[in-house]
Amino acid sequence: MAQKDVGNKIPIYKLKTTDEVMKYYDEWGIKNKYDQDMIEWDYTGPKETVNTFIKYSKDKNIKILDAGCGTGLVGVELKRHNYLNIDGMDLSKKLLDLVPEGYYQNLHQVDLNKPIKVNNNTYDAIMCVGTFTFGHVKPNALNEFIRITKNKGLICFTINEGIYEEYGFDKKIKELTDKNLWNVKEFFKSDYIASKDVNAWLCLVEIIK
């Protein structure tokens, strides 16, 4: 199947390095242009992912990590469903500064491509939306997510369709499944940014420890 020309529709998909990504997001956050663009593009990733997550998690008091939280779009959706015990992590301090008050317990500037300074089995669930994409976070982050998630905890994440095979997410998901580290509950192609003809795989797994 021919690769979609998404780079011209969404320039950030042309970026390759962590430094390039951080610089781009820092500029994107000026005057809240990031959130304005997400509205204009009809970015449905956060809503789709949270709607999938709530089918499997009925306890509103669980401790959730929003990994790659940006300006808090996933946190807004979670709070809409009365999940309030949420931590957020993101590479861009500028985007973290735009997160609205009252949605997250703690916010941390973190490079998710590196080991996460969090104890084993800390979180009941991890949400990761829009972070596994061009030039961003690589598949090995899933090992860290498993480490810091409790037994029977949930990880719900999107993978931009353009990098699913190129970055090796297909192999990583198979590896973690074959090693019996998780049980895949949902895996389907979501609308994500339908207005730009950009889709993402949406995956929800239950951790086995």
Can you give the residue ranges of every domain in the chain?
Answer: 11-168+178-207
What's the pLDDT score for residue 191? Answer: 77
Task: Determine contact, residues 29/92, Cβ cutoff 8 Å.
Answer: yes
What's the pLDDT score for residue 135? Answer: 72
Per-residue pLDDT tens digits for 27-85: 555 456 555 554 444 467 888 999 999 999 999 999 999 999 998 999 999 999 999 99
pTM of the predicted protein model = 0.83
pLDDT at 159 over 80: yes
Query: Nearest Cα to 155, choosing from 67, 23, 35?
Result: 67
Query: Nearest Cα to 45, choosing from 79, 3, 76?
Result: 76
What's the pLDDT score for residue 175? Answer: 98
Beta bridge partners of 149: 123
What's the pLDDT score for residue 199? Answer: 84
Task: Determine contact, residues 49/156, Cβ cutoff 8 Å.
Answer: yes
Tell me whether strands 106-109 and 64-67 are parallel, antiparallel or unpaired.
unpaired
* Domain spanning 11-168+178-207, CATH class: alpha beta
Name the more confident of 134 and 28.
134
